[in-house]
Structure 1
Amino acid sequence: MKPFYDKTPLYYGVLTQWLVLLLLITLSLQVNAQEYLVASPTQYQQALKQLQPGDKIILKNGIWQDFEIEFTATGRADALIELTAQTKGEVILSGQSNLTLAGEYLKVSGLVFKDGFTPSNEVISFKKSDKEVANHSRVTEVVIDNYNNPDRHISDNWIGLYGQHNRLDHNHFAAKRNAGVTLAVRLEGEHNQQNQHSIDHNYFGPRPILGSNGGETIRIGTSHHSLSDSLTVIENNYFDRCDGEVEIISVKSGKNRIQNNLFYQSRGTLTLRHGNGNIIDSNVFLGNGVEHTGGIRIINRDQVVTNNYLEGLTGTRFGSGFTMMNGVPNSPINRYHQVVNANVHHNSFINLDHIELAAGSDSERSAAPKDSTITQNLFINPQSPLAYHDDISGLRFSDNITNFASKDLNPIIKKGMSTHNITMARAANGLLYPSDVKLAQYGASSALLPITKQQTGTTWYPKSEISVAFQSGNTISVNAKASELEHAVTASQPGDTLLLNDGQYNIDTILAIDKTLTLKALNKHQAVVSFKHSSLFEIQNNGNLQLDGLRITGINSPNANGNSVIRTRSTGMLTNYRFEMINSIIEQLNTHHQFHFFDSGKRAFADEITITHNLFSHISGDLFRLDKETDDKGIYNAEYLTLSHNQFEHIQGTVASVYRGGSDESTFGPHVLVKHNQFNDVAMGKNNLSGALLKLHGVQVSQIDNNHFSDSAAIIIEHTVGEPKTRIANNQLNNSAPPQVNELVATGKHTANINNNKVQTK
């Protein structure tokens, strides 16, 4: 008898017959497959009823307004059913449109969602109902661009990934501005768990700061299902300035693999928030010194962090370059489980400002990490970035190398950290490695190949900037003639500069700022602007305003309570805005006892307000009112307020009132920087109910340095949650009240750094 592997002519004959039959079947399927070009929702519904495996629905090029697509069908692994565009990128789903997939072996490609928002909870959902989900299906080369609910705090997700064995790849997601996760992997029900989804080669474009919790880019699971396994793979994606909140990726399930992704200048961290047994492998984090850029945060059991490269990250606390948290003993499922059996090896930590161990230690989070190893990592820094906040005897440091002196390290760390004179050089992959080949075994592998922006997303949709720089457009000369400035504001384009010639500009309408615009005086202070309505400027959606060298006066303003030079739209704004003012004079805002300079509306959010080298004089109200979010949900009105080298005199109200309430710790701001200013007779008016020159509640970073205060009220700061950092130093206080700092949450003495201030009284 011949062995079974001895192939006879009969065997080859039978095999040939089967191959011919399979080819005929395949050709038959291809011949019978139908393509349906549809031009309306009605035609789409008709085609949907006829679909067979291998068929394709093609949406005709154009704008499809308010089209809620239900793509429900059953294909086969060898004969997908497709929904696509006639031309990729030229089918625009706008208004209140969305897409629902349900069935088996489906594929969607080539569509663009923009100029609207979803009427449901998700723009693209891999389910029709809780029991009707998509499996073995793919969404590829789809764009969702700035497709947001106009109320920034109404939450929706752009992608809801349900079912099992689905793939999301080569898509472009950018400018999510309202609350809600960009991409949520959902685990409700066993049919959504152990899903083995693949999320790869997607471009996650800039996500602006939300200014509250709820701004994650990806979330896998929720705390309720966090002890279930997801088995999701996130690989080869590019995260470009994803700044929504402290968690860029929030892992809340088990046994996921996150690998070969690049995080570029993104504020926040890849956070293993809940769930066990996740693998974080071969990711690259490039901060380039941008504030609050972070790396990896570990919580829970059995997490593996290996072969990652982290460089130039500035984040601190929960947003550090590398963080290992304390847990809560016998933690509820939604709090912080103890770190147990973490394995951190062969990572490169290069020029990180902070590495936090046992972070978050307090009376509740008292369970320090245990049974965990940190080995064969590379630490490169001018000085040690390692900080520990509790007992770290449960961490075993072994065979790590560094270039900083280890003499001052904790003995547990020092035991496993050897110091070398390490010279670093950039390799062809753009990453830094030790020049000495003997040290090649430490840190990330030289074979690591970072994914590039160009390798992700679509090839046919541009990866454009989502904001416009000041003074990046045309310069337009404006004269002080009737309505010329008003017409110029309306006709200008984003980035333009209106150059105001000398003269008196009396504005008789409120100037709506709905683009990036600069108003600049040709000669400093020679363009004098007054206004006849309750405000001069209103910043609206897409608006950013820069003022340079103007003289603004309130002498022609109505004698009414609540006037302001600048306000935001009172009904709330979707887009973040920027306001800058330099070299200007603001005077005689005193036609009524409550005449303000800048008044933020509720649900408006400034990325930055920067005020330098200006004079504010004779103002009856407040200057910067950034305190409308008083519902204590962790929402606030501005990320950065900077007052530098200004003169404030005879201001009856508060210079700045900034409020961030609640107990959420998912944001980095607000930040308030006040330096090199002069304050004379400020905040002493009888209608200043706060009694404060600066009233800062819940501000996370306050720096008040090198100012001169004369005959002025106190600075009042109220610390809440989040380990706020307050520095009040090198100020001169003449006949002015000393600063007051109160801890509203923490017990004991306040944590502010108050030093080297000179106090003189008459």
Structure 2
Amino acid sequence: MRLINTIKLSLVLIGCISTQLAAKDYFVDDKQAFSDISSNLVAGDKVILKNGTWSDFEILLEGQGTQNSPILLTAETNGKVILSGQSNLRLAGKYLEVSGLVFKNGYTPSSAVIEFRKNKSKLAYNSRVTQVVIDNYNNPDKRESDYWVALYGQHNQFDHSHLVGKRNKGVTVAVRLNTEQSQQNYHKIDNNFFGYRPTFGSNGGETLRIGTSHYSLTDSHTLVENNYFERTNGEVEIISVKSGKNIIRNNVFFEARGTLTLRHGNGNLIEENIFLGNGVDHTGGIRVINKDQIVKNNYLEGLTGYRFGSGFTVMNGVPNSSINRYHQVENATIENNTFVNVQHIQLAAGSDAERSAAPKNSVMKNNLIINQNKQQPFTTFDDVSGIAFSNNVANTKVLDELAYGVKTHTIALSKADNGLLYPESTNIKAGAKRGLKVLKKEDTGVSWYPKVPALVKFDSGKTHTVTASASALLTAIENAQSGDVLELDNGQYDVSKLVKIDKALTIKAKNLGQAKLTFQRSTLFEIHDGGSLKLDGLSISGENAPDAINNSVVRTKKWGMIENYRFEMHNSKITHLDINHSFHFFVTGKGAMADEVVLTSNTFDNVTGNVISLNTEIEDLGIYNAEYVIVKNNTFDNVDGALLKLYRGGSDESTFGPHLQMSNNTLNNVGLGKRNKEQASVYVHGVQVTNIKSNKFIKSAPLVVEHTVGEPKTEISNNTFNATQSPSVKELRVAGPHTAVIKNNNVLNKAG
């Protein structure tokens, strides 16, 4: 027997030596050279791509490596091989490994940038993609969907990579379970940096999805650990779990709008994750749906989200739910979690005529709930007796129906070495374990590619003085860097060219009101990708504009913007937008998305169109044009169109906005023009958060609010309506009276 074993070992060693002898290193300097060797790769081979930019390079790494001798594809120098244009990467076979590549300045020609398969039948197994960068590699058509990383097959790993700036539709990283060969896959997604993903403005902006509803009763066994999610704001679901038996642990969510959502699938483990909201709007935590979910030892702090984006949510389900709706929460274990300054913990959320199945056979125990503002965070929307509370500790009195399982204590917190807050008294046993690992951003992703700030702030660059001529202004705009300020000398600037804005730029008057801008084209400023614009202290007149309809002062690209933008105007005077009818101040193009549009302390007089038009997405698909609209302390006189048209149609519930904040404005003779189709001075449709207060409406068209879906929050308060009809609020999708709060308004000489 010993002789036989010796012979077997010798054969193995001979095999290993022969493999190593056969293996080769290939230094590849162009696409043809790669094509020449790609079909003949064997275990142990190493392909090195020459440093430089490779345009329109579709890489297929295919072959049969072994555990000890994988087939490698790497950069000559990490980060120095740039894949641009229409490039992508596919892996098919076994024991393949790719590293060191950067995808930027282009977009994938296929369904994914990186795909762990060649086609439907040839998948990757036991393969790894590590230390790659995908940076703003987006299809220019924002509604065209693709993945950045799509995992198929089994036992694959995606790790230590840097993904930032996904802007077009589609999940950033998707685990696919659409065939048996990709189910029970045991993939590993770890140590990645998921950077800024801007608000998408509709469904389709998840950062990570594991499975789909169609295969959600199938187990995936995917491990997601040690990843850093920074401001991944695409939509309400940051991670969407749609399969079973996954583990999500030791991840950090930093100022990320949305939640880790157990949307479909059973038996998932969510543990030791850190959620740090820092009070940012709509920062959320964990949402629980389905059976046998375990949520333990997580730390959640400073989260402001509510409803489906709350700091913690347990949903109601649909009785006998179809596979793609909401399955009842059953046998959930929620234990030893810490909630510090989490504004909302919502139980039986989403309860309605359809979602009527309350949670059952579940427990919530040994959790620590501390709100330093003394506001208790719980809201219940249905019978929650199916969640048994025990040994929870809070610093506030909670709802009476939960008080039996929540002890109230005065608790002092102090910061531990890991930066988290824990009770000073060691007698408090509730909450997450002490000594939780808190990832640092710099320890994730790659070390050789910078993690730059998500946005360039206005006024963060240099200030340049501009002499009073149009040519000087155009030259200054062309030469400015993002974040710079252009300070205009007194005088008139009569601009004969359309001014393209493709950087974050502030244009301001050196002396308030003494720099006058006129223009000879159909618009003065046009915002393009990369552009954001702030105007301050200017006088802007349409007196020299063409005698044509649909002029504007500021507009976005008419179609095809992929990057979100910001627009602000302060302390400025706008006049003579009346050369012809439908002369607007600000107009959005289709598909454009503003993070915010802000008007403060401006005056408008004689406008034949709308002041702000944010209503091009009329297909009712849940898409809209601005996340935040803020209008404060302005005066609007003689505006034929509306002050604002803001539209979000459809029944999708995956977005937070739009938001409207309108206060301390005066509207005089606004909205009464015959071409104002809605006959409203302010028209908001499907807006999720509306706060209109302390404004004066004089001889103007009514304020019109139309509610659609998502439990919108509307408050109209402390306004004066003089010779103006009372506000109109309609529920378009829910039977019964409207849900708006209308209070303390003064209606004088009621019109009509």
Taking structure 1 as the reference length, the TM-score comes to: 0.96
**Is it true that 1:486 corresponds to 2:478 in the alignment?**
no
Q: Which amino acid counterpart does residue 165 of structure 2 have in structure 1?
A: A
d(CA) in 2 for partners of 1:214 and 1:429?
34
**Is it true that 1:296 corresponds to 2:286 in the alignment?**
yes
Deviations 1:84-103 (CA, angstroms, capped at 9, x unpaired): 00000000000000001000
Q: Which amino acid counterpart does residue 598 of structure 1 have in structure 2?
A: F
1:666 to 654, 658, 669: 654
- Structure 1 unaligned segments of length 5 or more: list them: 1-9
2:492 to 481, 493, 504: 504
What residue in structure 1 maps to residue 85 of structure 2? Answer: 95
| Pairing 1:586-735 to 2, within 5 Å after superposition | 586-735=574-723
What residue in structure 2 maps to residue 71 of structure 1? Answer: 61
**Is it true that 1:420 corresponds to 2:409 in the alignment?**
yes
What residue in structure 1 maps to residue 420 of structure 2? Answer: 431
Q: How far 1:217 moved relative to its partner? A: 0.2
Greater Cα shift, 107-116 or 375-384 = 375-384
Q: How far 1:33 moved relative to its partner? A: 2.8
d(CA) in 1 for partners of 2:628 and 2:592?
13
SS of residue matched to 1:754: strand
What residue in structure 1 maps to residue 461 of structure 2? Answer: 473
Q: How far 1:16 moved relative to its partner? A: 10
Q: Which amino acid counterpart does residue 271 of structure 1 have in structure 2?
A: T
Cα separation, partners in 2 of 1:708 and 1:482, compared to 1, 3 Å: closer
SS of residue matched to 2:681: strand
d(CA) in 2 for partners of 1:339 and 1:318?
15
SS of residue matched to 1:396: strand
Q: How far 1:50 moved relative to its partner? A: 3.0
**Is it true that 1:452 corresponds to 2:440 in the alignment?**
yes
| Pairing 1:69-468 to 2, within 5 Å after superposition | 69-381=59-371, 382-406=374-398, 409-411=399-401, 413-439=402-428, 441-468=429-456
SS of residue matched to 2:134: strand
Q: How far 1:483 moved relative to its partner? A: 1.7
d(CA) in 2 for partners of 1:687 and 1:536?
23
d(CA) in 2 for partners of 1:400 and 1:492?
57
Q: Which amino acid counterpart does residue 711 of structure 1 have in structure 2?
A: K
Q: Which amino acid counterpart does residue 583 of structure 1 have in structure 2?
A: N
Q: How far 1:21 moved relative to its partner? A: 8.4
d(CA) in 2 for partners of 1:133 and 1:594?
56
d(CA) in 2 for partners of 1:289 and 1:303?
28
d(CA) in 2 for partners of 1:24 and 1:496?
66
Q: Which amino acid counterpart does residue 722 of structure 2 have in structure 1?
A: N
Q: How far 1:29 moved relative to its partner? A: 4.5
d(CA) in 1 for partners of 2:382 and 2:711?
16
Deviations 1:699-741 (CA, angstroms, capped at 9, x unpaired): 0000001112212111000000000000000112222211000
What residue in structure 2 maps to residue 753 of structure 1? Answer: 741
| Residues matched between the structures, number | 748
d(CA) in 2 for partners of 1:185 and 1:631?
30
State whether residues 416 and 422 of structure 2, in contact with CA within 8 Å, keep that contact through their aligned partners in structure 1: yes
Q: Which amino acid counterpart does residue 194 of structure 2 have in structure 1?
A: F
- Misfit runs of 4+, over 4 Å: 13-32
State whether residues 469 and 494 of structure 2, in contact with CA within 8 Å, keep that contact through their aligned partners in structure 1: no
d(CA) in 1 for partners of 2:470 and 2:637?
32
Q: How far 1:643 moved relative to its partner? A: 0.1
Q: Which amino acid counterpart does residue 421 of structure 1 have in structure 2?
A: T
Cα separation, partners in 2 of 1:265 and 1:131, compared to 1, 3 Å: same
What residue in structure 1 maps to residue 523 of structure 2? Answer: 535
Q: Which amino acid counterpart does residue 392 of structure 1 have in structure 2?
A: V
SS of residue matched to 1:234: strand
Q: Which amino acid counterpart does residue 576 of structure 2 have in structure 1?
A: Q
Task: Supply the RMSD in Å over aligned alpha carbons.
Answer: 1.6
d(CA) in 2 for partners of 1:71 and 1:50?
10
State whether residues 182 and 217 of structure 1, in contact with CA within 8 Å, keep that contact through their aligned partners in structure 2: yes
What residue in structure 2 maps to residue 49 of structure 1? Answer: 39
d(CA) in 1 for partners of 2:96 and 2:15?
21
d(CA) in 1 for partners of 2:689 and 2:604?
25
What residue in structure 2 maps to residue 740 of structure 1? Answer: 728
**Identity percentage over the alignment?**
55
State whether residues 43 and 65 of structure 2, in contact with CA within 8 Å, keep that contact through their aligned partners in structure 1: yes
Q: How far 1:468 moved relative to its partner? A: 1.2
State whether residues 657 and 695 of structure 1, in contact with CA within 8 Å, keep that contact through their aligned partners in structure 2: yes
Greater Cα shift, 458-467 or 256-265 = 458-467
Q: How far 1:25 moved relative to its partner? A: 6.3
SS of residue matched to 1:535: coil
State whether residues 555 and 591 of structure 1, in contact with CA within 8 Å, keep that contact through their aligned partners in structure 2: yes
Q: Which amino acid counterpart does residue 111 of structure 1 have in structure 2?
A: L
d(CA) in 2 for partners of 1:18 and 1:428?
54
State whether residues 334 and 365 of structure 2, in contact with CA within 8 Å, keep that contact through their aligned partners in structure 1: yes
State whether residues 47 and 57 of structure 1, in contact with CA within 8 Å, keep that contact through their aligned partners in structure 2: no
Q: Which amino acid counterpart does residue 681 of structure 1 have in structure 2?
A: N
1:571 to 550, 559, 566: 559
Taking structure 2 as the reference length, the TM-score comes to: 0.98
d(CA) in 2 for partners of 1:262 and 1:179?
24
d(CA) in 2 for partners of 1:696 and 1:25?
72
d(CA) in 2 for partners of 1:376 and 1:647?
55
Q: Which amino acid counterpart does residue 255 of structure 1 have in structure 2?
A: K
